[in-house]
Structure 1
Amino acid sequence: MDRNLILAITLSMGVLLLWDLLVAGPQRKEWEAAREVAAQQAAQEDEASKAEIEGATAGGAQISVNDALQNGAGRVPVRTDELNGSINLVGARIDDIELRKFRQTLEDKSPLVRVLSPGNTEHGHFVQTGIRFVGDEGLNQVWTAPTGAVLTETTPVTLTRTSGDLTFEKTISIDDRYMFTIEEAVTNNGAEPEALTPYAFVVQRNIPEDFTNFMILHEGPLGVIGNTLHERKYNTLRKNNEKKKVSESGVGGWIGITNKYWLAAAVPAQDEEINAKLSNVGTREKPVFQSSYDLNTRTIAPGETVVITTGVFSGAKDVDVLQAYEKSVADGGLGIPSFDKAVDWGRLFFLTRPTFHTLDYFGDLTGNFGVAILILTVIVKLLLFPIANKGYEMTTKMKKLQPELEKIRERAGEDKLKLQQDMMALYKKEKLNPVAGCIPLLLQMPIFYALYKTLFVTMEMRHQPFLYISDLSAPDPTTIFNLFGLLPFDPTAAPLIGAFLGIGVLPILMGVSMWFQTKLNPPPADPMQAQIFALLPFFFVFIFAGFAAGLVLYWFWNTFLGILQQWVIMKQNGVEVNFAENLKLPGRKKNPAPGE
């Protein structure tokens, strides 16, 4: 080996060793020490947060909501057209909110939907805002309210308390929907400056009762921090909090906890930098989910007053309402970024959002979301008409080739390789693509998913009726197994098999339409394939029986329109539809003609 090369390698290795010893090594130790300190600080913050929340949720005590509301230091009633509830004077936390226009079920006397509940109940769910400082008594400080105070849209309430040299005034107002505005003024009456750290958090004790646990739906802590949406599902944090918790900083945003239809959120002033966390501060067995943020610490001088403004949302995830809050202050909103992302539009948001807005528009126009689904189906058919037509035309041409294909099958006999080669040669000669016939179905898949998602996650679709159906977002309530309600029992209540017995009118109509559509074309040559195709409609009946009725309505109406479209194209191309002949399966012997 060349001596110069050996010398160069030796010198290079020496330089690298010296660099590692004198520069990289000390830097690495500094980085490791910094990481250790950061980890310790994070652990201390988590422990402090956990201790605070445990105090706010009254440790292990769990009592009924009614008992929790009757006990304690007192409450300020909340009465608006939309909300009914109260504010707890312990911590000035908002922990008792019901929605006056939403009931848990379709029954007239069903209980109102409860969005927030006291922390010492089994499923405690509340929002608290405040300001930390040296010598703070914690989260359970008691506030004083004016005698007879009631919070309404037109009458704000001011709560007060004193701690050492600091005086606190918390003025709470509420708009005509679901947003509280909390202005907390702190005055330093002492001779020394004080360091203040504003905070807000939303807590959910245990997994809520209405938890659906569907893969396509986000339920749990979430927030927009800066301009980025962060989400963590309940079970994700319950099972693996240390690895999955979120700790992010950014200017503006909001944090909250969401269920399928309801949201509780805290919103800072949008020019503030927030240090946000989404985590489980409880245990795997007894989780306490928390979305929280701290604002940057600020110093208040003697005689000075500092005002911190926070919004608290507690209500239904009505898209129009959420988007109204997104608008700038100049346009009458609050400038909350991406607030409608509290609705889980999914990764195909570019389809689910237009689908929702189309349904919402025609629902308002016609007064019925079932009719809106029918109109949406027609619009989709018209938009996809040119492409779908190509697919149907290809299917029609394939049908015209059936006599030649039969001859090829007869010549090939049992030689499947020759059969495939001859068939492909014929397709090539006629410029046909046998897969093109699947195009109409494949084009429907993204639309189908978007509608499924829209019906499942949007508040507007909840409890919407159509004809005999009381809720388009739920399965068809009828079932063939009790003659659609004529017999006085519920087959779906049967153990083990009940879930498969809820086959209503719409799934049956859908199955019949799919079966009819398959019979427009001759069955496949292979008897096994033919039997599979023949059974598919019945299989889909059982599958779709558990889907939202609005989704089944869409699929039935779409299939029916597809039948009409295919029929017209076949007639235009001179293809006769021998429906009776298509009912016969391949391999079945035909009856001999007279004289044979």
Structure 2
Amino acid sequence: MKMDWLRTSIIGGILVVTFLLIIRWNEFQERKISALNLQPTSVSESVNAAEAQAEQVSEFDIQMPPTSTTAAPKVSAPEQLIQVNTDTLQIAINPVGGDIVKVGLLKFNDKLVTGDEKAEPFILLDQTVGTTYIARSGLAGTNGTDSKSSRPTFVSASSRYNMGDNETLNVDLNYQQGDVNITKRFSFVRGSYLVDLQYIINNQSAAPWQASLVGSIKRSSYNPVIAPGVGMSPFLGAATTTSETNYDKYSFDDIAEQPFKHTKQGGWIAMIQHYFMSAWIPDTTKQNTYTLRKAKNNDMYFFSFASEPTVVAPGQSETISAQFYAGPKDVSELEKIAPHLDLTVDYGFLWMIAKPLFAALDFIHGLVGNWGIAIIILTFLIKVLFFYPSAISYRSMAKMRKVQPKMQALKDTYGDDRQRMSQELMKLYKTEKVNPVAGCLPMLLQMPVFIALYWALMESVELRHASFLWLHDLSVKDPYFILPLVMGLTMWIQQSLNPTPPDPMQAKLMQWMPVFFTGLFMFFPAGLVVYWVVNNTLSIIQQYVITKQIENQK
């Protein structure tokens, strides 16, 4: 029967979309990024030289005192880590090389804290016995201070710096290279996760001084567990912007298989994980070479940049600068730092829907102050947007319910003649002005919004540890499974308003759909289930009113 085939296809399509959603849920990765050329087509000799030095610096493995309190041995004064505290960051800098070896995010807790538990800051960068994640920087080239065999030891006025009530904080590390005084300055601003790095070169020698600024993120491939949940696998790896594409990302496996390299004026290179990231943003006016690669003999990865050389004439001073970001994946802040850096907040292939959805959600949150209430209001607005097409669909389903007795009569009369049965059904639909395909419109319209909102909620650090009613964290599953059960109930009520499929097998399949979706939604972020429950409730009200209107018509 033609209509049986059509209905089966529609149901099958819904199941296929659901299955694809589960696959995407497990992968959380839109595509496999194609490899960039191993060698850039046009790079100056000076940049190549700086790049070679950068590789040496990034590979150099100086022994640093562990930052973990459980395994920290007593160290000599020159190797004592320099502690820096602002209102947002807790940073440890190793005077040997001046590398950032630990970053704690003071406004984000390490885990969900309830009751009288003490909140500990989330540690993004660190070097412990089992993990490595640090940000390195140095000067490489003709007069560079950093090489594969040595790193400079800087001297600072203090081993502890606190921003206090000030708006800014400068931490100066000094190094004397013959007649050249080098100051490595880290500058911090209140409320910001962006660190300005400056090398101030004061050349008091009789010869020109020349070197390139190099920076790298050195990391092992460990996978931090941020938001545990069945099937959740957010992207973990490197990202960069190139002259050809605004945003490319590479997993650790990609980099282990083949190193990547490209050259770009300005640009950035980042390490991405769930909710948080770090990135080097070199001088936008200079040509920079970016390299992603794995160490040959261990589980260590380097995401590096090397700028073109800077020449400082005798008796002159010059400043070489870059920026380092370590913090949450905040779209509004990342947009201000560098072009396309906000794309590290990966909304998937439906970003054109997800990004406006989150922008609207963020705006509403600014008005009401609670993410759960903001999701409810956003759901209502989405429902208003889809009100007219939903009404068309519900009228079609109400008419289908009303003509079901006539359809059953046709089935009793022409049940053995499928061709005649199909013809009579077409006549009945035309006479009663019924469009059975329109009944699936709400599901088809809502599915892209559902998937886009899923990615938006998964990627939005703002929802991490955000509470609503009994929920302490809207970014993870409901611990008591109350919302998924309510969602299943609303889905069953809505299904009871729909016409019963004529085929017994299809009818039984539809009866099990609420059970299937309830089990699926038990592991979805609670914020997403809030959206679906509210959406179902509003749909039930709208469909019930329209169904009663159609049934009361003569």
Take 1:538 and 1:232, find their aligned partners in 2: how far apart are those partners?
37
Of 130, 142, 147, 2:138 maps to: 130
Q: What is the letter of the counterpart of residue 153 of structure 2? A: V
Q: Is the 8 A contact 1:182 1:310 kept in 2?
A: yes
Distance 1:101 1:62, change over 3 A: closer
Take 1:282 and 1:111, find their aligned partners in 2: how far apart are those partners?
36
3-state SS of the aligned residue for 2:241? strand
Distance 1:216 1:124, change over 3 A: closer
1:450-465 map, 5 Å: 450-465=452-467
Of 140, 150, 154, 1:143 maps to: 154
Q: Post-superposition shift, 1:252?
A: 1.6
Q: Post-superposition shift, 1:455?
A: 1.1
Q: Is the 8 A contact 1:277 1:292 kept in 2?
A: yes
CA RMSD of aligned residues (A): 3.1
Aligned partner of 1:52 in structure 2 is 57
Aligned sequence identity (%)? 30
Q: Post-superposition shift, 1:164?
A: 4.2
Aligned partner of 1:505 in structure 2 is 482
Aligned partner of 1:220 in structure 2 is 237
Take 1:35 and 1:451, find their aligned partners in 2: how far apart are those partners?
38
Distance 1:109 1:159, change over 3 A: same
Larger radius of gyration: 1
Q: Post-superposition shift, 1:517?
A: 1.0
Take 2:73 and 2:55, find their aligned partners in 1: how far apart are those partners?
24
Q: What is the letter of the counterpart of residue 434 of structure 1? A: P
Equivalenced residues, count? 500
Distance 1:58 1:42, change over 3 A: farther
Stretch moving more, 257-266 or 163-172: 163-172
User: Scaled by the length of structure 2, what TM-score is found?
Assistant: 0.82
Q: What is the letter of the counterpart of residue 57 of structure 2? A: E
Q: Post-superposition shift, 1:563?
A: 0.9
User: Scaled by the length of structure 1, what TM-score is found?
Assistant: 0.77
Aligned partner of 2:374 in structure 1 is 372
Take 2:146 and 2:139, find their aligned partners in 1: how far apart are those partners?
11
Take 2:520 and 2:188, find their aligned partners in 1: how far apart are those partners?
46
Stretch moving more, 107-116 or 76-85: 107-116
Q: Post-superposition shift, 1:181?
A: 1.2
Aligned partner of 1:580 in structure 2 is none
Listed one character per residue, the Cα deviations across residues 319-375 of structure 1 (whole Å, up to 9, x for unaligned) are: 33334x34xxxxxxxxx2223222112222221111111111222211211111111
Stretch moving more, 44-53 or 148-157: 44-53
1:172 to 2:186 alignment? yes
Of 203, 207, 228, 1:188 maps to: 203
1:68-107 map, 5 Å: 71=75, 73-107=79-113
1:421 to 2:427 alignment? no
Q: Is the 8 A contact 2:241 2:269 kept in 1?
A: yes
Listed one character per residue, the Cα deviations across residues 273-313 of structure 1 (whole Å, up to 9, x for unaligned) are: 21112333356xx4322222111123333333221111111
Take 1:124 and 1:398, find their aligned partners in 2: how far apart are those partners?
63
3-state SS of the aligned residue for 1:150? strand
Distance 1:439 1:179, change over 3 A: same
Aligned partner of 1:199 in structure 2 is 214
3-state SS of the aligned residue for 2:277? strand
Distance 1:393 1:57, change over 3 A: farther
Of 531, 538, 545, 2:515 maps to: 538
Distance 1:297 1:238, change over 3 A: closer
Aligned partner of 2:494 in structure 1 is 517
3-state SS of the aligned residue for 2:423? helix
Listed one character per residue, the Cα deviations across residues 465-516 of structure 1 (whole Å, up to 9, x for unaligned) are: 11111111110111xxxxxxxxxxxxxxxxxxxxxxxxx1111111111111
Take 2:493 and 2:433, find their aligned partners in 1: how far apart are those partners?
28
Aligned partner of 1:332 in structure 2 is none
1:169-568 map, 5 Å: 169-176=183-190, 177-210=192-225, 217-225=234-242, 228-237=245-254, 239-240=256-257, 242=258, 245-282=259-296, 286-323=298-335, 325-326=336-337, 336-478=338-480, 504-568=481-545
3-state SS of the aligned residue for 1:207? coil
Structure 1 unmatched runs, 5+:
1-33, 327-335, 479-503, 577-596
Stretch moving more, 152-161 or 214-223: 214-223
Distance 1:148 1:92, change over 3 A: closer
